[in-house]
Amino acid sequence: MKAKKPILLVVMDGVGFSKTGLGDAVTLANTPTLDWLLQNCPNTRLKAHGGAVGLPSDDDMGNSEVGHNAIGCGQIYSQGAKLVNESIESGKMYGSDTWKEVVSNVKKNGSALHFIGLLSDGNVHSNISHLFSMLEEAKKEGVSKARVHILLDGRDVPATSALTYVEQLENKLSELNGEGFDGRIASGGGRMKVTMDRYQANWEMVELGWKTHVKGEGRQFASAKEAIETFRNEIEGVIDQDLPAFVIAENGEAVGKINDKDSVVLYNFRGDRAIELSMAFDNDIFTFFDRGAKPDVVYAGMLQYDGDLKLPKRYLVSPPEIKDTLSELLVNNGYKQYAVSETQKYGHVTYFWNGNRSAKFSEELETFKEIPSDNVSFDQRPWMKSAEITDDLIEVIKSGEYDFIRCNFPNGDMVGHTGSLDSTIIGVESVDLGLERLKKVCDECKVTMLITADHGNADEMVERNKKGELAVRTAHSLNPVPFIIYDTETEYEIIPSDKYGLANIAPTVAKMFGIKAPDCWEASMI
C-alpha cells in the first residue's frame, strides 16, 4: 500500500511505559491527546534499550544517540559500550595506531597519561571498566605516570552514588601503584557543571573543565572523597551531576596538570558531550574561550565523536559504519525530507538519524531546522521549545513541500534528567499540547502522523535504593516506548509481535511509502 500523502514522525524524547509506577510523570501528567491516540489508533510497544539498539545486554539503558541511529537506519549496529567492549576483548583497541601513539609518547618523554571521562558504569557515556582496562594495559606497557580526571554522574546511575565509583577507582589505583607506576585522581566535578556540555549550548562548562583538568586551577582538596563530602555538606540536597569542580593538590600544587608532551584520552564513548572538549584540544583555531597556552599533547577520544568534522583526530575505536539509512533511501527515491528540533536534540534528528553523518545526503532534498534552546535548568522552563517546534511543524506541513517530516520534543528526557517530578509532568503535558495541535493540522492537510520515543525517562522518576528506600531517579529507564499510527483515511494494521524495537520504524515508513526496504533492515510492523 503506497501512501499518497506525507508522513510526520514525532519523537517524544524520554517518554516510555512504566513497569513500576514509581514516579511515572507520563501517567501523572494530563495527556488527553496521547491517551486518545493510544485508545483509538493502531499502536504497539517498542524495545528501546539493550540488544534492540546494539548495546551489550538488556540491562543497558538506551539513549538518544543509539535510539536515533536505530530509528534512522532500520538496523541494529553494535554501539557504545558494546562496540568498545568488543574492541577491548579482541585486543583490537590496544593494537590500534592511536593507542600505540598515546603510550609511546609518554614513555619517550617520561610524561603523564591522562584519562578524562564520566566515572560510572551507566553505559550511556562511559563505563568505569574501560578505564580500569586502560590503566592496567598502560602499566603493562611501561607507562609510569597516570592521572584521572573524573566527571561525576548521578544521572545514568543513582543520583548520589559518586563515592561508590571513587572508591572503586581508588582501589584499582592502589592495586596498580608501585613497581614504577604512579596513578592518581587529579581533578573532577559534576557532569552538568563541568566539561560535558553539548551542542555548544554552554561553553562556560567546557572552559571550567579546561581550567580544572588542564590548568589545575580551582578549589583544592586532598582527595576526591574529601571534595564530594565537603560539597554535600555545604550544598543542601546537591546530587552528583551538580557537584562543583575540584582539584586534587599536595602542598598547594595540583597533582595532575596537563603539560606539554603528555597524552590525554577522553574515555567517554558517546559523542554529543565529548565534541567540545575535543575541539579545545584538537583545533588550532579556537575562539570559544581563552585556552591560554594550549599544551602540546597527544589527544585521543574513545571513539570519533563526529566523523564529518573529524573530531577528534585520533580515536581508539572506530565507529560503526552505518549504511543504508532511511534518509538515504528516501533521497534515492526523490522524497523531500524535513527535520526539526531545538538545540538539545537537533543533532539527534540530523547527525545521529543519518547514521553519524553531519552532511546531508542531498542539499536539495533535505532541510534541517534548529530552534535555539534556552540556556537554563530545564526544571525551571519545562515546556522548553515545544510550542516553537510545533509552530514550525505546522508551517512546514501546511506548505505541502515535504514528503517526510521528523521532529524531536526533548521535554521528557531533558526535564526528566533534572529529577524534578513536578517539572517533568509539565514537560510531558507540553508535548501533549503539541500533539493535539499537530493532530489537527495532519487532519487538515491529510498527513499520516507516527508517534514514538527513543527511550524512556519521564516514566520512571523514582526508584528504590539498595536499602529499599525511595530515591530520585535521573537516569533513563529500561521501559518500552510507544509506536502509534494516526491516520483518519488509511487503515493500518500492526502485525502483532513482542519483538519490535526502534529499528522496525524505518521499514514501516518505507512500506507506507511503497518503497522496497534494503534486505539488511528489520521487518516492517505493518
Known active-site residue 64: yes
Nearest to 303 by CA among 285, 288, 319: 319
Angle at 40 (CA atoms; ends 37, 46), nearest 5 degrees: 60
The pLDDT value recorded for residue 228 is 98
The pLDDT value recorded for residue 347 is 93
The pLDDT value recorded for residue 1 is 39
pLDDT, block means (10 residues), the chain with 526 residues:
78 96 96 98 97 89 92 94 93 97 98 98 94 98 98 95 98 97 98 92 96 98 98 97 98 98 96 94 97 98 81 90 95 97 96 92 98 94 98 98 98 95 98 98 98 97 83 91 96 96 98 96 98
Grid coordinates representing 132? Answer: 580500569
Is 246 strand, coil or helix?
strand
Q: What does the alpha-carbon distance between residue 63 and residue 52 come to, in Å, rounded to a whole number?
A: 12
Out of 18, 64, 278, 423, the active site residue is: 64
Answer yes or no: are the C-beta atoms of 278 and 228 closer than 8 Å: no
The pLDDT value recorded for residue 307 is 61
The pLDDT value recorded for residue 384 is 98
Cβ-based neighbours of 284, under 8 Å, separated by 6 or more? none
Answer yes or no: are the C-beta atoms of 477 and 455 closer than 8 Å: yes
The pLDDT value recorded for residue 298 is 98
pLDDT digits (tens, 9 = 90+) for 348-396: 999 999 998 889 999 999 999 999 999 999 999 999 999 999 999 999 9
Q: What does the alpha-carbon distance between residue 408 and residue 406 come to, in Å, rounded to a whole number?
A: 7
Nearest to 307 by CA among 280, 337, 275, 284: 275
Start-end of H helices in 371-476:
386-399, 411-414, 421-445
Q: What does the alpha-carbon distance between residue 127 and residue 131 come to, in Å, rounded to a whole number?
A: 7
To which residue does cell 539498539 refer?
53
User: Which structural domains are found in the chain, ordered by start?
Assistant: 7-78+321-513 (3.40.720.10), 81-317 (3.40.1450.10)
